[in-house]
Amino acid sequence: MPITRLTKPDSKFRLDDVSTDPPRDASKQEAAERLHDLGKELLELQELMWGARTHSVLIVLQGRDAAGKDGAIKNVVGALNPRGVAVSSFGVPTKEEREHDFLWRIHRQAPRAGEFAIFNRSHYEDVLVVRVHDLEPKSRWGERYDHINDFEELLAEHGTIVIKFFLHISKKEQEERLLEREKNPSTAWKLNVNDWKEREHWDEYTEAYEDIFRRCSSKYAPWCIVPADAKWYRNLVVAETVLEAMREHRDQWLETLDRAGKAGREELEEYRRSKGVRHKG
Ligand code: AMP
Ligand code: MG
């Protein structure tokens, strides 16, 4: 599967070069089967990571309104054991949040060892909406790219597997989804005039996003640009990418668990010997 993963800064990256559609040869039917298998593997790896407690996973989801952040979260979380998964949504900062540095509210939600944290929006809003709407001077938000890189490196050094997704939809697909919400009584509660207002800034958001991808892509915290016009393909790419990142640690987790198992067994035997109990098991 050709996935666009940015693992280093690239001043030439352009969003228009990445399709919002699935590749021509991708099939929805095969994707459903594959997704089912990936779900099982994800749960398996989650159990290993939970036991080993040497790593954690941070999934960052960014995208324009109606890009499918909620749907993608539902899909990943649905495959996991909810014990050890926390979803955090970042909206307009509260007064208390505004009175701290921009990473304060974010860092508090970083995952604990063994666990998953999923961010619905993130610290990247502080170089997106803030930039597009001039909420703060450029002298302030312009410094943030470096802070973000340092922050993500710190998380990675601490054992956090950081994976960042941009759900890439076309302007036309967004319009269709927003109009669909209006027509459908069961989704009309999502209507928000702000989504249409933000849409008027489409190109400015594109520029702001491109700067992010150009400057905040690294090996320890790559960006994955997900073709998101088709939900089934979006879900497949997200699951596949998370798994790819976790698989690298599988052997190490198994070794850690094996050592823990041996240590536990020795301790138990020692205890039984001291009691003079013989026990088979
Ligand atoms: P939603 O994701 O639809 O619930 O909307 C959350 C809103 O909060 C979006 O319009 C974001 O742009 C906005 N938001 C998130 N983070 C920030 C931030 N740091 N500063 C200003 N607005 C933000
Ligand atoms: Mg919204």
Query: Who contacts 280 (Cβ-Cβ below 8 Å, separation ≥6)?
Result: none
pLDDT tens digits, one per residue of 147-160: 999 999 999 999 99
Confidence band, pLDDT 50/70/90 cuts, at residue 110: very high
**Which residue's alpha carbon is nearest to atom 21 within ligand 1?**
92
pLDDT tens digits, one per residue of 218-273: 999 999 999 999 999 999 999 999 999 999 999 999 999 999 999 999 999 999 99
**Which residue's alpha carbon is nearest to atom 9 within ligand 1?**
91
Please state whether the predicted TM-score (pTM) of the whole model is above 0.85: yes
**Which residue's alpha carbon is nearest to atom 11 within ligand 1?**
91
The ligand 1 atom at the shortest distance from the C-alpha of residue 65 is 3
pLDDT tens digits, one per residue of 12-25: 999 999 999 999 99
> Nearest bound ligand to CA 65?
2
pLDDT tens digits, one per residue of 82-95: 999 999 999 999 99
